[in-house]
Homo-oligomer: A and B are copies of this chain.
């Protein structure tokens, strides 16, 4: 028999690399073959790690000790203070947990928690495979273009009421501003969702990794309305340009300490603790400072201008899309072009992405990768393919009463603006 592939966990078998990685490799191949590619695939912040945070890493490069599993106490304090200050929620340092990316913490949560996982779709690519690896049941809650792809409180209520088990342990994963659609529930909706969660004792994993990228700096956490049942997931990856550093945070309410403790035990048998120099350095990111405030203001201004410009272009081209309020994603829907696309033999979002890539060089991801049915015509585009360092420096030279105009975008984000134009030209030529 030999050492063949006979002994793999069935939950892992056949699971592919994440869609985000796949598109990246595809893009690399096409670029290598000499094709001009407009990459809207991987959602990585275009901005550099702020200088004060890089300097802090240099200062703490010698730190060698294993840190406490739950996290460096000073960092937990900085994270708790950050959430109190920025989100107006009462988080205590003793209830903060640091992980090597919030994705790892979500995996530990799905592993430690024994219950159903409720996810409104479209959703981020990794929630469902994580549940699959662990063997958990996922219930996708339907959303619609008409409802801005957000979770309708009524749909949540109906889902819970329809199940003949009022006490079933449930974990609801909410992500806002959302990957893939850059938007989220209104405050009124969050309040209604909080009420339903309270009624059914649902634990809410509130994935707010894009919270600080809210273009107006006006992110509102559901933890304000459901503090006792909300775990806030956050980290450095998106607003601080440090995706590759791998530092995520979970902030628990005091009465979910039993769940935090279970995660700490599993962490102690897996990653042990997050890299010590990285934890020491990250304190500077969460503490209030003029440099961080300035960095956030300018990065938000750039993302806001670019997002608004893109939505305007696509809307004018009769592509269905909603305004974006945060993150750096759009989730356009080509339903209005269904007949014309059908003439080309395109009837689902996987084929649609493939053909757009082949014929325009625009690389995006199909709605299917985000839990939408294949036969819909939506795709996710990350508008991050520009030099964030340069864009920040130019933005800093432009006064606050001026907005960043089309010329700024064409000059500083040319691959994004050209890619959008190529896509529109392709559609209009159908």
Most chain B CB within 10 A, of A2, A100, A203, is at: A100
Q: How far is the CA of A4 from the CA of B6 in the complex (A)?
A: 41
**Is B49's CB under 8 angstroms from A54's CB?**
no
Q: How many copies does the complex hold?
A: 2
Any chain B CB within 8 A of the CB of A335?
A: no
Residue of B nearest to A110 (CB): B9
With a cutoff of 8 Å between Cβ atoms, the chain B residues found around residue A266 in the complex are 12, 133
Report the Cα distance A13→B258, complex, angstroms.
10
B133 touches A272 (CB 8 A): no
Contact with B along A218-258 (1 / 0, CB 8 A): 00000000001100000000000111111100000001101
Contact of A12 with B111 in the complex, beta carbons under 8 Å: yes
Complex Cα–Cα for A315 and B274 (A): 40
Scoring A residues 134 to 178 as 1 if CB is less than 8 Å from chain B, else 0, what string do you get?
Answer: 000000000000000000000000000000000101000000000
Asked if A344 is at the interface (CB within 8 A of a chain B CB), the reply is no
Residues of chain B within 8 A of A278, CB atoms compared = 275, 277-278
Q: What chain B residues lie within 8 Å of A265 (beta carbons)?
A: 12, 15-17
* Interface assignment of A352: CB less than 8 Å from any CB of chain B: no
Q: Which residues of B have CB within 8 Å of A334?
A: none
Question: Which residues between 1 and 34 of chain A lie within 8 Å of chain B, taking CB atoms?
Answer: 1-10, 12-13, 15-18, 21
CB distance from A325 to the nearest CB of B (A): 25
B270 lies within 8 A of A5 (CB) = no
- Assess whether A10 is in contact with B246, with CB atoms less than 8 Å apart: no
How many A residues touch B, CB cutoff 8 Å? 81
Residue of A4, A5, A129, A275 with highest tally of chain B CB at under 10 A: A275
Which residues of B are found within 8 Å of A42, using beta-carbon distances? Answer: 66
Indicate whether A62 reaches chain B with its CB closer than 8 angstroms: yes
A264 at the interface (CB under 8 A from B): yes
Q: Mark A193-207, 1 if CB is under 8 A from B, else 0.
A: 000000001010000
A86 contacts partner chain B, Cβ-Cβ < 8 Å: no
Among all A-B residue pairs, the 8 with the closest Cβ atoms: A7-B169, A244-B276, A57-B61, A5-B258, A58-B58, A7-B115, A65-B244, A107-B270
**Residues of A that sit less than 8 Å from B by CB:** 1-10, 12-13, 15-18, 21, 42, 44-45, 48-49, 54-55, 57-58, 61-67, 69, 100-101, 103-104, 107, 111-115, 126, 129-130, 133, 167, 169, 201, 203, 228-229, 241-247, 255-256, 258-259, 262, 264-266, 268-278, 281
Query: Can you sample 25 A-B contacts with CB below 8 Å?
Result: A3-B201, A3-B228, A3-B229, A7-B115, A9-B111, A9-B113, A12-B265, A21-B268, A42-B66, A44-B66, A49-B62, A54-B62, A58-B61, A64-B244, A64-B245, A65-B244, A100-B246, A101-B272, A103-B272, A104-B270, A104-B271, A126-B269, A130-B269, A277-B277, A278-B278
